[in-house]
């Protein structure tokens, strides 16, 4: 069989890197896209020989068009697109309006607009039928954040979920599946910079029915399944990877 190809945005660290590694272990050709060239090079070495890496700001249409053209030229038809790129900024109800607007625009562009632009740019190169689009949402889109400051992030990830559901309807007749993964708290990432204090991590674990925090491998396993042939009749879903946190 022809070797399958996967592109992972935000693939230089955390969840994106874990997804790329698991797909590579299943003999996918891997390309990762992110902003930092140095971290991309380091990640490509971790993923394995033959991993391609591309630096681009995916919230800018020109940059997206350029990297999509390079990907198409280098890889040809693509089987799986994983939209994982994103970040958060602190926007709370009491954030001064000018600052809140500035941070809001950055978060919406970095999480929602980037997913929208990159997906549409890669659609002409996605396998039909059989293509897979996997978007990364968040538990914050479903029930908000446990602490103030995630107004923009929650809204952006809720937008990702709406985009996923609508795109699944549009692309279903072409045999392309579109799904999202909504992780809960994943401890082993750089999402919170230096990380949360241990007492806060312990509190999150205590509030979770499975009594632990998530790991990047938990999310990567879900992405691996959604990318597989076994998930060919799964589309328009939001898969929650949170240890039952919304139940607890």
Whose structure tokens read 């299943």? 26
Catalytic residue (one of 28, 54, 118, 153): 153
Whose structure tokens read 């993964």? 181
Contact criterion met (CB below 8 Å) for 245 and 208 = yes
β-bridge mates for residue 133, sequence order: 81, 178
Q: Which among 137, 38, 39 is positioned nearest to 84, based on CA atoms? A: 137
CA distance 241 to 84: 15
Contact criterion met (CB below 8 Å) for 132 and 227 = yes
DSSP state, residue 246: T
| DSSP reduced 3-state for 45 | helix
CA distance 112 to 109: 6
Query: What Cα–Cα distance (Å) separates residue 155 from each residue in 143, 150, 162, 229, 245?
Result: 11, 8, 11, 32, 19
- Phi and psi (nearest 5°) for 32? -120, 145
Instruction: Verify whether residue 54 is a known catalytic residue.
Output: no
Active-site residues, by number, are 153
């Amino acid at each position: 069989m022809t070797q399958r190809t996967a592109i992972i945005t935000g693939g230089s660290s955390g969840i994106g890197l874990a997804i790329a590694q698991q797909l590579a272990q299943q003999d996918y050709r891997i390309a990762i896209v992110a902003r930092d060239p140095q971290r991309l090079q380091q990640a490509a070495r971790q993923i394995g020989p033959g991993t391609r890496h591309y630096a681009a700001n995916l919230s800018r249409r020109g940059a997206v068009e350029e990297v999509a053209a390079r990907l198409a030229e280098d890889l040809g038809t693509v089987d799986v697109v994983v939209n994982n790129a994103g970040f958060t900024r602190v926007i709370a109800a009491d954030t001064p309006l000018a600052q809140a607007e500035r941070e809001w625009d950055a978060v919406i562009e970095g999480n929602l607009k980037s997913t929208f632009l990159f997906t549409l740019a890669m659609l002409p190169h996605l396998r039909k039928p059989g293509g897979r689009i996997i978007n990364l949402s968040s538990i914050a889109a479903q029930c908000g954040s446990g602490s103030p400051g995630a107004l923009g992030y929650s809204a952006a990830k809720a937008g990702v979920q709406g985009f996923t559901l609508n795109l699944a309807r549009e692309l279903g007749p072409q045999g392309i599946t579109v799904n999202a993964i909504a992780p809960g708290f994943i401890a082993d990432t750089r999402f919170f910079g230096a990380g949360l204090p241990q007492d806060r991590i312990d509190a999150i674990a205590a509030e979770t029915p499975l009594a632990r925090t998530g790991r990047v491998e938990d999310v990567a396993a879900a992405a691996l399944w959604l990318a597989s042939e076994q998930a060919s009749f799964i589309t328009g879903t939001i898969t929650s990877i949170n240890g039952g946190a919304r139940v607890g």
